[in-house]
Amino acid sequence: MFDHLRSDYPDVSSDPALEDLGTIIEAMHCEWGSSHQLLERPTGTDALHLAEIDHGLLVDPPPGKENGWVPIVLEVELPDGIWETHSE
């Protein structure tokens, strides 16, 4: 689940520490749901320099992996003029 943390930070990414982190993330997904607002939405964008997110990169987790998983789009292809997305 946290392979990159384990390889990038081996001194602090022990199995028990990563299991605890996974438990916390799963609890957040279960308790907060998708409607929990982490940051207040800005009232205007005049002073902000925002990036736009490609909505094709926002994907739903596969059935059974709704809690504790964050689906990430790995590639987008344009074969024959038809968009296809692949997520993990």
> 28-77, pLDDT tens digit by residue?
888 887 677 777 776 776 767 677 777 777 778 888 888 877 777 777 66
* 42 is a domain residue: no
* Cα separation, 46 vs 76, whole angstroms: 31
30 and 2, same domain (yes or no): yes
This prediction's pTM? 0.46
* 45 is a domain residue: no
Question: Confidence class of residue 13 from pLDDT cuts 50, 70 and 90?
Answer: confident
Question: Confidence class of residue 85 from pLDDT cuts 50, 70 and 90?
Answer: low
33 and 58, same domain (yes or no): no
25 and 2, same domain (yes or no): yes
Q: Which of 14-18, 25-29, 47-51, 81-85 reaches the highest mean pLDDT? A: 14-18
* 46 is a domain residue: no
* Cα separation, 64 vs 88, whole angstroms: 13
CB 22, CB 38: distance < 8 Å: no
Domain boundaries, position 30: 1-37
Q: How many domains in the chain?
A: 2
26 and 56, same domain (yes or no): no
* 86 is a domain residue: yes
pLDDT of residue 47: 67
